[in-house]
Amino acid sequence: MIPVRGVEDRRIAVLGLGRTGLSAARAIMAGGGVALCWDDAEAARERAAGEGLTLHDLGRGGAWEAVDALIVSPGIPHLYPAPNRYVAAAQAAGVPVDNDIGLFFRSLAVPEWDRFETVPRVIAVTGSNGKSTTSALIHHCLEVAGRESQLAGNIGRGVLDINPPGDGGIVVLELSSYQTELARSLTPDIAVFTNLTPDHLDRHGGFGGYFAAKRRLFAEGGPDRAVIGVDEPEGRLLAGQLSEGAGDDRVIRISSGQKLGGAGWNVFVRKGFLAEFRKSRQVASIDLRAVRGLPGAHNHQNACAAFAALRALGLAPKLIEQGFQSFEGLPHRSQIVGEKGGVTFVNDSKATNVDSAAKALAAFSGVRWIVGGQMKDGGLSAVAPHLGNVSKAYAIGRQAAEVALELNEMAGRSLCEVCETMAEAVGRAGAEALAGETVLLAPAAASFDQYDNFEKRGEDFVSEVARVLQKGGPDDPGGEMKDA
């Protein structure tokens, strides 16, 4: 645990008692503060009370008297589309609002670091797509290299639940826009911006607000090194704003589809080969085509981001390549879960928006595509350039008929059939797939019409794939099921 610093004898309200809120409350108490906890859900309050935490109804009269700060969980809005009523009350009372990320950054460094040979460092990764895989890949490569590393934030453990890092330790954080937009303290040593595509626009008051939330990690965080994906205009703008000139190697530009020139520090992938250039000279390269855990252009972008961050730490390219080769990917993110008769089954349930799904489709050919769920605004037009990779689509979820109609009209042929359930879709796709094809779950939609979250959806896919693999006939030895 990271005890929160500067809260001795202060009364800190904690709103939202899920993983993040409970972790923050414990860390506040460990730092000598008084945690005043509240959640509208009775079950969450009972869980907190069972831990011995103090409940404090933030809706009653006088609730904000003598409260020094409010800590909110990521899912609680503070501005758009409208402030949460408790947050609005705190703001009206002049109570500062922060989150666990802000507490973490102000509490991590301790006087004991003066005795360390190498001060611990923090790598913070943000962006629309790929930040989980990038963060996990950085962490994996550090472990392969024998370096102390902890993975936390929007992936793995809560930031305040990690152990205090030791001499030379590295903390790798995945940070969402919900986390970066509100943290009052942001001081990463290395900050990574993967890419930017429209998402969470209601929460941020539009695309500009969404970009601004991501940009705070760099503009206010002031990292020693910034790794910036420049395949979108926002990334190019951000890289230019952070750089003092073309040769400024404090900014490392990355791309998954274009050769980057100039005198600066660049990492890019072309035709499956990752290249690192410094001062216009190539200094390293990795063949990513055979790296099974990183298929497709979107994962090659993740590889560029991870490689650049690790090089900024001083890791040798050969050590990084070893980490890449042994990386198996994350559950629900282009995760190979089984093979049978030359057919590969891939779980990309995390592809909850159309841009993510388009990138998944681009990574494979001969795709039996399982698509649908709680669809987002804008439709499926972004996948149109990749429909040539799709042998057939199988629509699931409450909007399955609408999804099938849109895809059939877009393709100009009968491409998609309505299945509604995961069991029906996987069963049909598995039965119809030919050797060399891929059965891909990349829903391009949220999961909440049928599942609690995308993880549950992915687990259902894995379970149904297992059924398909076990159906082998007398001459069929069955399939191989990968670890889910």
> Is 52 annotated as belonging to a binding site?
no
In this predicted structure, the answer to whether residue 476 has a pLDDT above a threshold of 90 is: no
- CA dihedral of 255, 259, 264, 267, whole degrees rounded to 10: 40
Q: Is 188 exposed, middle or buried (0-12, 13-18, 19+ CB in 10 A)?
A: buried
CATH topology of domain 109-326: UDP-N-acetylmuramoyl-L-alanine:D-glutamate ligase (3.40.1190)
Q: How far apart are CA 166 and CA 118, in angstroms?
A: 9
Phi-psi region of 284 (alpha: psi -120 to 50; beta: other; left: phi over 0): beta
The reply, when asked if residue 257 is annotated as ligand binding, is no
Domain pair 11-98 / 335-470, same fold: no
pLDDT over 80 (residue 472)? no
Mean pLDDT of the chain: 93
User: What is the predicted pLDDT for the residue at 444?
Assistant: 94
The pair of structure tokens assigned to 286 is 């990795």
As a whole number, mean pLDDT of residues 466-481 equals: 65
Q: What is the pLDDT of residue 198?
A: 83
Does residue 194 have a pLDDT over 50?
A: yes
- Confirm if 460 and 451 have CB atoms less than 8 A apart: yes
Distance CA 441, CA 367 (A): 10
Q: Yes or no: is domain 335-470 CATH 3.40.50.1820?
A: no
Amino acid at position 249, single letter: D
pLDDT in tens, 144-183: 999 999 999 988 789 999 999 999 999 999 999 999 999 9
Mean pLDDT of the region 404-424: 95
What are 431-453's pLDDT values in tens digits?
999 999 999 999 999 999 999 89
How many angstroms from the chain centroid is the CA of residue 398?
Answer: 26
132 is in an annotated binding site: yes
Is residue 213 pLDDT above 90, yes or no? yes
Cα distance between residue 196 and residue 342, in whole Å = 35
Is pLDDT above 50 for 484?
A: no
pLDDT at 373: 94
- Residue 227 bridge partners (DSSP): 192, 252
Q: Which amino acid is at 294?
A: L
The response to whether 255 counts as a known ligand-binding position is: no
pLDDT value at position 376?
84
- Mean pLDDT, residues 36-57 taken together: 96
How many Cα atoms are found within 13 Å in the side-chain-facing hemisphere of 243? 20
The two structure tokens encoding residue 306? 């991870």
Mean pLDDT over 95-124 rounds to 97
Q: What is the pLDDT of residue 297?
A: 83
What is the C-alpha separation between 209 and 214, in angstroms, rounded?
Answer: 9
Q: What is the mean pLDDT of residues 209-235?
A: 96
Determine whether the annotation assigns residue 326 to a binding site: no
Total residues belonging to the chain: 484
Encode pLDDT of 313-343 as tens digits. 999 999 999 999 999 888 888 888 999 999 9
**Is the pLDDT score of 475 beyond 50?**
no
**Residue ranges of the domains in the chain?**
11-98, 109-326, 335-470
Quick: pLDDT tens for 4-44. Answer: 999 999 999 999 999 999 999 999 999 999 999 999 999 99
Q: Which residues contact 431 (CB under 8 A, 6 or more apart)?
A: 468
Would you say 342 is a known binding-site residue? no
Is 169 labeled as ligand-binding?
Answer: no
User: What pLDDT, on a 0 to 100 scale, did the predictor assign at position 377?
Assistant: 81
Rg (CA), the chain: 23
pLDDT digits (tens, 9 = 90+) for 346-396: 999 999 989 889 989 998 989 999 999 999 888 899 999 999 999 999 999
11-98 is a CATH 3.40.630.30 domain? no
Mean pLDDT computed over 127-149: 95
